[in-house]
Amino acid sequence: MSAVELGVFARCFPAQAPEPLGREIAAAGFSTVQLNLSAVGLPTIPDAQASAGVDLVSVRRDLEAAGLRIWGLSGSYNLVHPDQDRARAQTVDAARLIRRAPELGVVAVTLCTGSRNADDMWAAHPDNDTPDAWADLLSNLGPLLDAAEEADVLLAVEPEPGNVVSGTDAAVRLLDELGDRGGRIGFILDPANLVGETEPDAYERVLRDAFDRLGSRAICVHAKDVVTWDERIAGASGLDFALVRELHAGLPHAVPVIVQDADPANLAAVRSLVLGDA
């Protein structure tokens, strides 16, 4: 797995200007980054007024000067927020950002399919499984898909236990219901999210099923664990990263592995775990 394109969330590092951020990421041994604009002191999804002052070309220039490739850009907001007027307004802003994604040279803009939880778009809610929540998801995806087509980028959807697209079955359903429009959808496979609340003895079955059914549409694998990195480094049980490496290597096309939720101080140990050097 040493030949894998290994990246990191820019948000793993303190927010700062793009030039020093790029140097810090490169010094930590990474060549690829998943960017949230908050990592360079900007709103994740700028509104119309803020967007006019955002120089994405210079952000790209400064990160590339450090030898980094910007794989993806966060466009995450709550697509199924219970206040749909709010969600639709954010959809307008997100579509504007997606249209500007080519300025960063990214493959994909990452989304959160959202939750009916009004306070936390990543938190589960009993209404996430309702037809109304699914209908709101599809409705708000429409303008984002139009923007992605215009910008020639993918929309990255990550099955998350707390979201409407909660796992492999829901991801397959999304593609089925979008039909031809689903061509702009790619999946981020995050083993920790895919196993969710599954018992550890079922992890392998769940992960093999997910990589089997979604692998042809995978565009990235996220590297985090079912415990915190600090806990894992200290010896706690977690994911079988040898299995994750096997599944990643078996994907039909090369995709980056991007480390998430790590502190700069433990990135060396995290790299070793993910790459199998530990």
Mean pLDDT of the region 39-45? 98
What is the overall mean pLDDT for the chain? 97
Mean pLDDT of the region 80-87? 98
Tell me the DSSP string of 65-91: HTT-EEEEEE----TT-S-HHHHHHHH
List, for residues 161-220, the tens digit of each pLDDT value: 999 999 999 999 999 999 999 999 999 999 999 999 899 999 999 999 999 999 999 999
pTM check: above 0.85:
yes
Query: Comparing C-alpha atoms, which of 278, 277, 272 is closest to residue 28?
Result: 272
**Is there a contact between 34 and 261 (Cβ–Cβ < 8 Å)?**
no
Tell me what pLDDT residue 1 has.
40
Tell me what pLDDT residue 58 has.
98
Tell me what pLDDT residue 3 has.
80
With cut-offs at 50, 70 and 90, classify the pLDDT of residue 223: very high
List, for residues 129-169, the tens digit of each pLDDT value: 999 999 999 999 999 999 999 999 999 999 999 999 999 99
Mean pLDDT of the region 74-102? 99
CA distance 112 to 106: 17
With cut-offs at 50, 70 and 90, classify the pLDDT of residue 277: confident
Q: What percent of the chain has pLDDT over 70?
A: 99
End-to-end CA distance of the chain: 13
CA distance 163 to 165: 5
CA distance 92 to 7: 29
Tell me what pLDDT residue 278 has.
57
Q: What percent of the chain has pLDDT over 90?
A: 97
CATH 3.20.20.150 fits 6-275, yes or no: yes
How is residue 226 annotated by DSSP?
S
pLDDT at 259 over 90: yes
pLDDT at 2 over 60: no
